[in-house]
Structure 1
Amino acid sequence: MFKTFLLASAAALALGLPAAAETVFKSRLAGHAYLSALTLVAPPADAPRDALVSGKFTGKVRNDRPMSAPGDVGPAYGSHATGISLPLIGQPVQGMSGFAMNRADDGSVFTLTDNGFGTKANSPDALLFFHRMKPDFAAGAVERLDTVFLHDPDRKVPFRIAYEGTESRYLTGADFDPESIQYLNGEVWIGDEFGPYIIRAKADGRVVAVYPTLLDGKVLTGPDTPGIVVPAAPGKDFRVQRSGGYEGMALQPGTNRLWAMLEKPILGDDGEPEGDFLRVITFDTDKGEWTGDSFRFKLADGAAAIGDFNFIDETRALVIERDNGEGDASLACAEGAQDKSACYPLPARVKHVVLVDTSKVDAEGFIHRIGHIDLMDIDDPDGKAIPEIVAGRDLNGKFTFPFLTIEDVMRVDDTHIMVANDNNLPFSGGREIGRAANNEFILLEAGDFLNAR
């Protein structure tokens, strides 16, 4: 499906070695904590009453009856029920879609909830917000310290929002799909998938500016960008794939530049993906403008998208890359199976945390890949895992992270990283058939990986 990584192959040939896959580093589970899947927050008191019940528009017709429409993972994944029904009373904290590199003064982590229920059309009653959270790996729990709702009272958003006529102008999943977050000098910078845009906001969630994307001097748009009228010609009227905007956006220490990485390959003039690589475009937060520089991240064989992107020093960074599978491969459905109630039609196979060096870029603009950790092969000799791992194989001493969307990674210290999932509530499982995935946070000891160059 995808070619082998160009730089790794070239380096291997230069050393007289076979063109093999890049180095895979071992990791050990040092902690495991989770926030329950069904975790809800109340909307702000001045939000429209419409926001008191969320998920009313996820079906074919409006549904105002709370908890009346059972969620499932969809036909491509076996239509397994998740045990949670829509609409919800309150707003779902649901899956985490990004970690900020910088922490709050109290050491808590800034993390982000995405657009709500997956699309622009079904999320007009899903408010947009970010959080401060503190995972407690000793207790196996995650404490939500604060939730901040994005709002636009100063009308900085350059298009009509869902709650346009309200005084507080809270943003919803019909306006943006926030997928990546950074915290800098008391402000948050958020990468959006719909535009794709970069959103700048105060720590209280008040929008300061919204920046359209420029690549090679031209504005990048997608099928959900306001102003794009469907039917539109992919590759001509828009180049960013649906759900292909800024899934990862890293903040570079020492420069205050954002390295915004698109989730999927952009489209060429023929409407087809331009290659098995992702564009990375840099933004100067001091000037509030794009630098004009762009780079490429090569996807590994079998990977379809990325989930998060964070620097660990001035030049090296972590990237999550993944396939579109969920569930342990030992429970994969047999070829041609009609009954998929107890198996995974598309099991998880490629779930990596990749270490890259942005100071090493080849002539074609590809960022150097140093190596990766396999999240489907984590050592757990100390039995740190909390839930029982459901699989059709012996996983004694092993731990896997078999979720569809793994969208959070950050350096914790010189030897540890933290990873978390987006559980797409109530539409994803992965850990166990028939149960919605929790918001899991894992602490991995990976000193050799973090020190690699």
Structure 2
Amino acid sequence: MLKRAIMTSVALAALSLSAAAEEKAFPSKLAGHVYLPALSLIAPPADAPRDAWISGKFTGKARNDKPMTVPGDVGKAYGSHLTGISLPFIGQPMQGMSGFAMNRAEDGSVFTLTDNGYGAKLNSPDALLFFHRMKPDFAAGKIERAETVFLRDPDRKVPFRIAYEGTDSRYLTGADFDPESIQYLNGEIWIGDEFGPYIIRAKADGRIVAVYPTLLDGKALTGPDTPGTVVPAVPGKDFRVQRSGGYEGMALQPGTNLLWGMLEKPLLGDDGKPEGDYLRVITFDTGKAEWTGQSFKFKLAEGAAAIGDFNFIDATRALVIERDNGEGDASLACAADAQDKSACYPVSAKVKHIVLVDTSRIDADGFIHRIGYIDLMDVNDPDGKALKSVTGREPNGRFTFPFFTIEDVMRVDDTHIMIANDNNLPFSGGREIGKAANNEFILLETGDFLNAK
């Protein structure tokens, strides 16, 4: 029996290696490039608390109510480059996009999401939560924001005290949830949250219908920011989800209407360390409003640290954004011994992939089959579609998408996909040193990739 088990193990390992070897890099061509300016602000609803009119007041060490007085920068690890935009803001930042819904609205517009605001629970209590309907027009070179819908909890469905608990309108903020993925089904919005992690169900007008805690193998999954996690808490024992490690991607499967929620980072084991170089994918039945009990694994490529979005393109195949934590084109990477990092990227972008997977092919260890990928750091641009006003350079036949957080992907048609970034306003650059990243949308022609099996 032992010999047979060893042989089986070896055979499975060989199959796994074979599957990895079969994964193919596919070419892509830039077919369109549009953007929303980095500093795109919108007014809060008329019935929102006055507090929401100045957002980003708590992003520093002390409260600051003076608009546009604290310069944003990318952080010490990334060279402390200023981004040219200062906090706090008058109004709410539209910010970067953090997820595309597979299904479009009746008018053809795309549902997309703005996340918790400023990156953490503690610094975002004045950042309202909302989603949009966007109309990118690559032919005309523009994006129309058709509608913004603010999330609110008038029926007290959220199972914990929210930041605006004592208000009549009960709008949700980044101190309540970190929404990172979105789907639209039968007139309702489904949102994947990172703090709980939770699945949030809402009406199309933003009213919360239900909040579902996550169950894996019959046990609740929680993180350090889940209400009820008490400090001091032991990672791996008191919580298993890493900070900012909840549902970055949540795909809606056609036909079954199952939500496939993919965690952004590996779960923690009993020792407090990541359980492996893979991410958990947990399925939820929208019809029954309950977890199916099934879960799977997504294997990360070498150098990848997280995912950004997850969307089906047919009944079984889906697109996943896979990324490292780098930012900035490698042509401007700092030398290994550089002391002055003011004009270079200390952690340049390397792994920025769109991966095609087949959920009908699960191996013996529960891993979803990877078919192939597109390298977003090596996109062909023979027609000069890249916007010089955005990239800061003349089109040269090659295009890169060198952002820290690329968080939106969806199929457009049989030969095209659309991708967008989360610009973490005002904390991310990526295009030009000293400039905040814009909200970029790109259209890629990649028929061979979309037809791969």
- Would you call these one fold, judging by a TM-score over 0.5? yes
For 1:25 and 1:9, the matched residues in 2 are separated by: 24
Aligned to 1:197: 198
> Alpha-carbon deviations, 1:338-393, whole Å to 9, x = none?
2111000000000000000000000110000000000000000000011367699x
**Equivalent runs, 1:226-245 vs 2, <5 Å:** 226-245=227-246
* 8 A Cα contact 2:388 2:395, kept in partner: no
Instruction: Say which SS state the counterpart of residue 448 (structure 1) adopts.
Output: helix
* 8 A Cα contact 2:384 2:395, kept in partner: no
Aligned to 1:157: 158
Structure 2 spans left out of the alignment, 5+ residues: 1-10
For 2:24 and 2:236, the matched residues in 1 are separated by: 35
Instruction: Say which SS state the counterpart of residue 279 (structure 1) adopts.
Output: strand
**Equivalent runs, 1:274-313 vs 2, <5 Å:** 274-313=275-314
* 8 A Cα contact 1:408 1:421, kept in partner: yes
* 8 A Cα contact 2:22 2:371, kept in partner: no
For 2:336 and 2:34, the matched residues in 1 are separated by: 35
**Which residue identity lines up with residue 114 of structure 1 in the other structure?**
D
For 1:321 and 1:384, the matched residues in 2 are separated by: 24
1:47 aligns with 2:75: no
Instruction: Say which SS state the counterpart of residue 420 (structure 1) adopts.
Output: strand
- Give the drift of 1:13: 4.3
TM-score by length of 2: 0.96
Instruction: Say which SS state the counterpart of residue 51 (structure 2) adopts.
Output: helix
Distance 1:48 1:390, change over 3 A: closer
For 1:251 and 1:260, the matched residues in 2 are separated by: 9
**Equivalent runs, 1:427-442 vs 2, <5 Å:** 427-442=427-442
* 8 A Cα contact 2:385 2:395, kept in partner: no
For 1:342 and 1:367, the matched residues in 2 are separated by: 41
For 1:9 and 1:419, the matched residues in 2 are separated by: 34
- Give the drift of 1:413: 0.2
Instruction: Say which SS state the counterpart of residue 371 (structure 1) adopts.
Output: strand
For 2:324 and 2:14, the matched residues in 1 are separated by: 22
**Which residue identity lines up with residue 154 of structure 1 in the other structure?**
D
For 2:433 and 2:356, the matched residues in 1 are separated by: 32
Instruction: Say which SS state the counterpart of residue 135 (structure 2) adopts.
Output: strand
For 1:205 and 1:395, the matched residues in 2 are separated by: 41
> Alpha-carbon deviations, 1:138-192, whole Å to 9, x = none?
2322110100000000000000000000011000000000000000000000000
**Equivalent runs, 1:175-186 vs 2, <5 Å:** 175-186=176-187
1:422 aligns with 2:427: no
**Which residue identity lines up with residue 358 of structure 2 in the other structure?**
D
Instruction: Say which SS state the counterpart of residue 45 (structure 1) adopts.
Output: coil
Distance 1:21 1:63, change over 3 A: farther
- Give the drift of 1:396: 1.7
Instruction: Say which SS state the counterpart of residue 321 (structure 2) adopts.
Output: strand
Distance 1:258 1:290, change over 3 A: same
Aligned to 1:99: 100
- Give the drift of 1:229: 1.2
- Give the drift of 1:337: 1.5
**Equivalent runs, 1:279-428 vs 2, <5 Å:** 279-387=280-388, 396-428=396-428
**Which residue identity lines up with residue 426 of structure 1 in the other structure?**
P
* 8 A Cα contact 1:140 1:386, kept in partner: no
Aligned to 2:8: none
**Which residue identity lines up with residue 210 of structure 1 in the other structure?**
V
Instruction: Say which SS state the counterpart of residue 318 (structure 1) adopts.
Output: strand
- Give the drift of 1:68: 0.2
Aligned to 1:38: 39
**Which residue identity lines up with residue 144 of structure 2 in the other structure?**
E
**Which residue identity lines up with residue 96 of structure 1 in the other structure?**
M
1:144 aligns with 2:149: no
**Equivalent runs, 1:19-98 vs 2, <5 Å:** 20=21, 22-98=23-99
Distance 1:445 1:66, change over 3 A: same
- Give the drift of 1:231: 1.6
- Give the drift of 1:330: 1.4
* 8 A Cα contact 2:387 2:395, kept in partner: no
* 8 A Cα contact 1:133 1:144, kept in partner: yes
1:451 aligns with 2:444: no
- Give the drift of 1:335: 1.3
* 8 A Cα contact 1:72 1:427, kept in partner: yes
Aligned to 1:211: 212
For 1:189 and 1:298, the matched residues in 2 are separated by: 25
For 2:214 and 2:278, the matched residues in 1 are separated by: 18
> Alpha-carbon deviations, 1:42-63, whole Å to 9, x = none?
0000000000010000000000
Give the count of matched residue pairs.
Answer: 443
For 1:232 and 1:275, the matched residues in 2 are separated by: 21
- Give the drift of 1:412: 0.2
Instruction: Say which SS state the counterpart of residue 433 (structure 1) adopts.
Output: coil
- Give the drift of 1:451: 0.1
Instruction: Say which SS state the counterpart of residue 259 (structure 1) adopts.
Output: strand
For 1:250 and 1:9, the matched residues in 2 are separated by: 30
**Which residue identity lines up with residue 115 of structure 1 in the other structure?**
N
Distance 1:207 1:7, change over 3 A: farther
* 8 A Cα contact 1:389 1:399, kept in partner: no
Q: Which moved more, 1:132-141 or 1:109-118?
A: 132-141
> Alpha-carbon deviations, 1:185-244, whole Å to 9, x = none?
000000000000000000000000000000000000000000101221000000000000
For 1:321 and 1:359, the matched residues in 2 are separated by: 20
**Which residue identity lines up with residue 10 of structure 1 in the other structure?**
L
> Alpha-carbon deviations, 1:240-275, whole Å to 9, x = none?
000000000000000010000000000000000000
**Percentage identity across paired residues of the two chains:** 82
- Give the drift of 1:10: 2.5
**Which residue identity lines up with residue 231 of structure 1 in the other structure?**
P
CA RMSD of aligned residues (A): 1.6
For 1:35 and 1:297, the matched residues in 2 are separated by: 32
Distance 1:423 1:320, change over 3 A: same
Aligned to 1:10: 15
* 8 A Cα contact 1:417 1:445, kept in partner: yes
Structure 1 stretches of 4+ moved >3 Å: 6-9, 11-14, 388-392
- Give the drift of 1:400: 0.3
**Which residue identity lines up with residue 88 of structure 2 in the other structure?**
P
TM-score by length of 1: 0.96
For 1:103 and 1:450, the matched residues in 2 are separated by: 19
